[in-house]
């Protein structure tokens, strides 16, 4: 019986579930927003919030506790250096789940889970990508410019 059990097993053995949630939380901290099923997002939220709370402490012990789950040291560095300071004054509520509707293949309910207050980071990344696109030229454009320069 599942009386008073507060977590979803997600139809997986414990080891698979832990590994999947560790991968999801790593991707969430890396990209600040991920798209997954609603059930996985709801299972991921408490784990992500607990890790951010550890990162806010900033101690070596807290870093080691986070490294038990997030195995990527670069992501842990980013969590402690970039993400935790944003939430220094906030007491919980670091993530948001936005429902998207159903997936066409199997009808699973989809959702975005994202870090709150990181919308500006995504906008800056988009602006950088757009600048890179305008700076880059195709080989045909380079040839055309070279021909124009030689004609003048």
- pLDDT tens by residue, 17-40: 999 999 999 999 999 999 999 999
Same domain? 23 vs 70:
yes
Is 68 within the bounds of a domain? yes
Please indicate, yes or no, if residue 2 is contained in any of the structural domains.
no
Average pLDDT over residues 83-102: 96
Q: How far is CA 50 from CA 6, 62, 75, 93, 134, in A?
A: 16, 11, 16, 10, 41
Band the pLDDT of 53: cuts 50, 70, 90.
very high
Residue range of the domain that includes 96: 14-116
Same domain as 101, residue 63: yes
What sign does the CA torsion over 94, 101, 130, 23 have?
positive
Say yes or no to pLDDT of 152 above 70.
Answer: no
Dist. CA 149–CA 135, nearest whole Å: 19
**pLDDT per residue as tens digits for the range 128-138:** 777 777 666 66
For residues 73 and 123, state if they share a domain: no
Q: How many domains does the chain have?
A: 2
What confidence category does residue 148 fall into, taking pLDDT thresholds of 50, 70 and 90? confident
pTM for the model stands at 0.78
Task: State both tokens at 138.
Answer: 């195709």
């Amino acid at each position: 019986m599942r009386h008073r059990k507060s977590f979803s097993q997600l139809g997986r053995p414990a080891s698979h579930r832990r590994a999947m949630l560790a991968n999801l939380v790593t991707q969430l901290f890396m990209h600040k927003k991920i798209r997954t099923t609603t059930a996985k997002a709801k299972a991921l939220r408490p784990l992500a919030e607990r890790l951010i709370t550890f990162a806010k402490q900033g101690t070596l012990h807290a870093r080691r506790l986070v490294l038990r789950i997030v195995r990527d040291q670069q992501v842990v560095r980013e969590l402690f250096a970039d993400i935790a300071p944003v939430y220094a004054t906030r007491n919980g509520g670091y993530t948001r789940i936005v429902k998207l509707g159903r997936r066409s293949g199997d009808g699973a309910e989809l959702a975005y889970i994202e870090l709150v207050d990181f919308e500006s980071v995504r906008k800056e990344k988009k602006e950088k990508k757009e600048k890179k696109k305008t700076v880059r030229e195709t080989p045909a454009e380079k040839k055309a410019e070279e021909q124009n320069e030689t004609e003048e």
